[in-house]
Amino acid sequence: MKSLPAWLKTSILLGALCLPVAAAVQAGVATLDITPKESVWLGGYAARTKPSQGVRQRIFAKALALRDENGTTAVLVTADILGFTQELVSSVAVQVESRFQVPRRLLLFNASHTHSAPVIGAALGPAYPLTGADRTVISRYTAWLGAELVALVGRSIGDLKPAQVSFGQGLAGLAVNRRRVGNPEYPNVIDPDLPVLIVRGDGGAIRAIVFGYACHNTTLDDLLVSGDWAGYAQSTIESQFPGAVALFVQNCGADANPLPRRTEELAIAHGHLIAAAVAEVVQGQPRKIDGPIQAAFREVELPLEAAPPRQEWERRASAGSDMERRYARMMLQQLDRDGRLPTSHPWQAQAWRIGPDFTLLALGGEVVADYALRFKRLYGFRNLWVAGYSNDVFAYIPSLRVWQEGGYEGDTSMVPYGLPARFQSSVEDLVAGTVDELMRALPSR
Ligand SMILES: [Zn+2]
């Protein structure tokens, strides 16, 4: 430090002592068109009988890189797909870490859960009557997506430049607790919060708007590719704020549907509704967030109930619906291959804290609204964003209440997801315990 002027020596020493230094947040944004170039099975509905027949709306993956004054870089990747798989996420994460030195805890994937985008890898295997040729197309798309996502992350990092980040929350009334359809006595538990992160360039122009909402992207169920209402919300926001990239984060919307639904007009209207709610937050008084980026990542095994014996799978392989038969055959193949069926499944949770009072909690799987409400009650409504559909989407994550009620989100969705039994009743305790550990791992506010 001999050649440095005295004032600079002092600043470096102060920096080393972690005293406040001038804010130097940087942000980078990149987008990738992930519209399939060939006909491919669309994910999410077991009732479809053939692959896609065209494109209603182009679909995208987007990345936002944030770098704090210490050089810590976090990258959020969002995509108009049903869900990321562990296989895809792991492969991208390994390459991102080796090429761009972003460790796993600082790389976060979130899927919009659109039901009008290509099937990814082997996700929801029993749900679709796939031929070998169909599987080849899906594998080709998934491999292409993986390679392109690594490049997308790289482009977002390459775009880093000084930025100002702010956060606000609105409310929107699109989601309805779908478990009440046919069960009107069930409570209308939803998470109506609309968290919004706004990234401005040095001159004040908006470069990115990240918005979250908890509701299935299931307005449409035909054979045309689209991002559903979240796709329309993103394109509407981007045309309303020219130069800005809109990234959608699916929150804990596992038991919420956009109702009414099933027409293109409704999907567009739903998108406009959410975009209007986002604009209110952007034009309101979002709070500036600044400071070091801290991240934590945890994984826990969620135990499954005992699987039926082999004879039961043999019986089911020739009884029930086509999907139930495919499910039973898949279990028999696993028994032949491994001699046993899985007794648990890993579940991942990740948290980012930016500065003293903004936390993004990102949970794996299809997470029901009870969890978002529970964690916001525990850790604060104003500064906490609770996302579901993050990283690996491998099953529904029911709360104890939903587990006790049973039905699709509590039990029978394990058939399309291809797990041999529902979770044990400990599921909520294990999830909440893991989140508590995660929140404690972050520096206190
Ligand atoms: Zn779902």
Spatial separation of the C-alpha atoms in residues 118 and 136, rounded to whole Å: 13
Please indicate, yes or no, if residue 413 is contained in any of the structural domains: yes
189-201 burial code (b ≥16 CB/10 A, e <16): bbbbbbbbbbbbe
pTM: predicted TM-score of the whole model, two decimal places = 0.94
Burial of 55 (0-12, 13-18, 19+ CB in 10 A): middle
| 1 found inside a domain | no
Kindly compute the dihedral angle of the four CA atoms of residues 337, 339, 341, 343, in this order, to the nearest 10 degrees.
-130
- Mean pLDDT of all residues in 21-44: 91
In a shared domain, residues 149 and 268: yes
The rounded distance, in Å, linking the Cα atoms of 110 and 367 is: 12
Task: Record the tokens describing residue 201, joined without a space.
Answer: 């360039």
Kindly give the distance from the C-alpha atom of residue 254 to the centroid of ligand 1, in angstroms, as a whole number.
6
Residue 213 lies in a domain: yes
Q: Are 47 and 36 in contact (CB under 8 A)?
A: no
Same domain, residue pair 322 and 224: no
- Both 421 and 371 in one domain: the answer is yes
| pLDDT > 70 in the chain, percent | 94
Q: Residue 305: pLDDT band by 50, 70, 90 thresholds? A: very high
CA of 444 to the centre of ligand 1 (A): 34
Q: What string of H, E and C letters represents the secondary structure of 299-315?
A: EEEEEECCCCCHHHHHH
Q: Are 184 and 142 in a shared domain?
A: yes
Cis peptide leading into residue 36 (ω within 30°): no
Tokens of 277: 């709610």
CA 391 to ligand 1 center in whole angstroms = 15
Q: Are residues 223 and 320 in the same domain?
A: no
* pLDDT of residue 281 exceeding 60: yes
Has residue 105 been placed in a domain? yes
Higher-pLDDT residue of 233 and 443 is: 233
Residue 286 Cα to ligand 1 midpoint, Å, equals 31
- How far apart CA 255 and CA 210 sit, in angstroms, is 22
For 53-92, the pLDDT digits (tens) are 999 999 999 999 999 999 999 999 999 999 999 999 999 9
Tell me if 98 is assigned to some domain. yes
Q: How confident is the model at residue 365 (pLDDT cuts 50, 70, 90)?
A: very high
* Co-location of 118 and 89 in the same domain: yes
Tell me which residue of 168, 118, 182 sits closest to 144, measured CA to CA. 118
Q: How far is the centre of ligand 1, averaged over its atoms, from the C-alpha of 217 (Å)?
A: 8
Q: Which two tokens stand for residue 198?
A: 């706004």
Say whether both 259 and 324 belong to one domain: no
**Do 262 and 313 sit in the same domain of this protein?**
no
Q: Specify whether the CB–CB gap between 249 and 71 falls below 8 A.
A: no
Q: HSE of 170 in the Cβ direction (CA atoms, 13 Å)? A: 23
Whole-number Å distance, alpha carbon 136 to ligand 1 midpoint, is 24
Q: How far is the CA of 113 from the centre of ligand 1 (A)?
A: 7
In angstroms, rounded to a whole number, what is the distance separating the alpha carbons of residues 407 and 82? 21
| pLDDT confidence band for 444 (50 / 70 / 90) | low
Q: How far is the CA of 367 from the centre of ligand 1 (A)?
A: 9
Q: Does residue 15 lie within any of the structural domains?
A: no
CA 69 to chain centroid, in Å, comes to: 27
Assess whether 215 and 241 both reside in one domain: yes
Looking at the structure, do residues 210 and 278 belong to the same domain, yes or no?
A: yes
Give the structural domain span for 221: 26-299+347-441
Residue at 4 is within a domain: no
Contact 190, 167 (CB under 8 A): no
Q: How far is CA 170 from CA 69, 239, 274, 404, 410, in A?
A: 29, 20, 10, 32, 29
Q: Do residues 318 and 360 share a domain?
A: no
pLDDT of amino acid 9? 42
- Joined tokens for residue 272: 């406009």
Strand 359-363 with 384-387, pairing? parallel
CB 194 within 8 A of CB 173: no
Instruction: Write down the pLDDT at residue 22.
Output: 46
Confidence of residue 443 (pLDDT cuts 50, 70, 90): confident
Question: How far apart are the CA of 225 and the centre of ligand 1, in A?
Answer: 17
**Confidence band for 14, pLDDT divided at 50, 70 and 90:** very low
Same-domain pairing of 59 and 161 = yes
Query: Would you say 26 and 117 are in contact if contact means Cβ atoms under 8 Å apart?
Result: no
Q: Is 192 a residue whose pLDDT tops 90?
A: yes
Q: What is the full DSSP assignment across 207-226?
A: EEEEEEE---B-S--SSEE-
Ligand 1 geometric centre to CA of 83 (Å):
9
Confidence of residue 24 (pLDDT cuts 50, 70, 90): confident
CA of 383 to the centre of ligand 1 (A): 26
> What 3 state SS string does 120-158 have?
CCCCCHHHCCCCHHHHHHHHHHHHHHHHHHHHHHHHHHH
Cα–Cα separations (whole angstroms), residue 248 to 5, 50, 120, 200, 230: 47, 28, 19, 17, 7
- In this model, does residue 5 exceed pLDDT 70? no
Q: How many domains does the chain have?
A: 2
- Ligand 1 centre from 232 Cα, in Å? 19
Domain annotation covers residue 14: no
Last residue of a domain, one of 315, 338, 361: 338
CA angle 385, 92, 102 (to 5 degrees): 65
Provide the mean pLDDT of the chain.
94
Count of CB atoms situated within 10 Å of the CB of 445: 12
Q: Given a cut of 70, is residue 6 above it in pLDDT?
A: no
Whole-number Å distance, alpha carbon 56 to ligand 1 midpoint, is: 21
> Where is average pLDDT lowest: 11-15, 329-333, 370-374, 435-439?
11-15
